[in-house]
A = this chain, B = another copy of it.
Amino acid sequence: MPFPSWPTNDAICFGGDYNPEQWPREVWDEDVVLMREAGVNLVSVGIFSWALIEVAEGVFDFSWLDDLLDLLHHNGIAVDLGTPTASPPAWFFSAYPHARVVAKDGTVLGFGSRGMASPSSPEYRAAAVRVASELARRYAQHPAVVMWHVHNEYGAPVGEDYSETAVAAFRVWLQERHGSLEALNAAWGTAFWGQWYTQWDHIGAPHATPTVANPAQKLDFARFTDHQLRACFVAERDAIRAHAEQPITTNFMANECPGTDLFAWAREVDIVSNDHYLTAADERNHVGLALAADLTRSVAGGAPWILLEHSTSAVNWQARNVAKRPGEMGRNSLSHVARGADGIMFFQWRASRSGAEKFHSAMLPHAGTSSRVWREVVQLGQDLAALAPMRESRVEADVAILWDAESFWAQDLEWRPSVDAQHKERVRAYYERLWRDGLTVDFAQPSQDLSRYRLVVAPASYLLRAQDAAHLTRYVEAGGTLVVSYFSAVVDEHDAVHPGGFLSPLRDALGVTVEEFLPLRAGQSTQVSWHPDGEPAALLTADVWQDDLVVHDAQVVGTYVDGPAAGRPAVTRHTHGAGSGWYVSTRLDIDGLAPVMAAAYTDAGITPRGLPLDVEVVTRHGADVDFVVAINHTAEDVKVDLGDGHELLRDAPVAGAMSISAGSVAVLRTARHHGGDGRP
Measured CB to CB, the residues of A under 8 A from B are 19, 21-22, 48-52, 55-56, 84, 87-91, 93-94, 101, 103, 105-116, 157-158, 188-199, 201-204, 206-217, 280-281, 283, 313-314, 316-317, 319-323, 325, 351-359, 361, 365-368, 371-373, 414-420, 491, 494-497, 499, 501-502, 513-522, 548, 550, 564
Contacts and interface: CB of A to CB of B under 8 A. Distances in A.
B516 A323 contact: yes
B366 A207 contact: no
Contacts of A417: 314, 316, 320-321, 359
A370 to B, nearest CB: 8
Given A208-B109, A353-B189, A496-B358, A564 B281 contact: no
B564 A354 contact: no
Contacts of A212: 113, 317, 356
A265 to B, nearest CB: 20
Contacts of A215: 354-356
Contacts of A317: 212, 415
A321 B418 contact: yes
Given A84-B194, A87-B194, 17 more contacts: A22-B191, A106-B108, A113-B213, A113-B214, A114-B210, A189-B354, A212-B356, A313-B516, A316-B416, A316-B417, A320-B520, A352-B497, A353-B496, A359-B417, A365-B516, A371-B516, A372-B548
A48 to B, nearest CB: 4
Interface residues of A, dominant DSSP: loop
13 contacts: A87-B193, A105-B107, A106-B108, A111-B209, A189-B354, A189-B355, A216-B354, A323-B517, A358-B496, A358-B497, A359-B417, A367-B513, A367-B550
A564 B323 contact: yes
A109 B209 contact: yes
A416 B319 CA distance: 8
A109 B207 CA distance: 8
Nearest to A565: B323
A281 to B, nearest CB: 6
A197 B90 contact: yes
A158 B210 contact: yes
A22 B521 CA distance: 32
Contact of A202 (B94, B355, B416): B94
B359 A416 contact: yes
A514 B201 CA distance: 60
A206 B110 CA distance: 8
A34 to B, nearest CB: 16
B192 A352 contact: yes
B201 A354 contact: no
Contacts of A107: 105-106, 208
Contact of A351 (B195, B352, B497): B497
A322 B101 contact: no
Contacts of A550: 367
A416 B321 CA distance: 8
B367 A89 contact: no
A548 B366 CA distance: 13
Contacts of A213: 112-113, 356
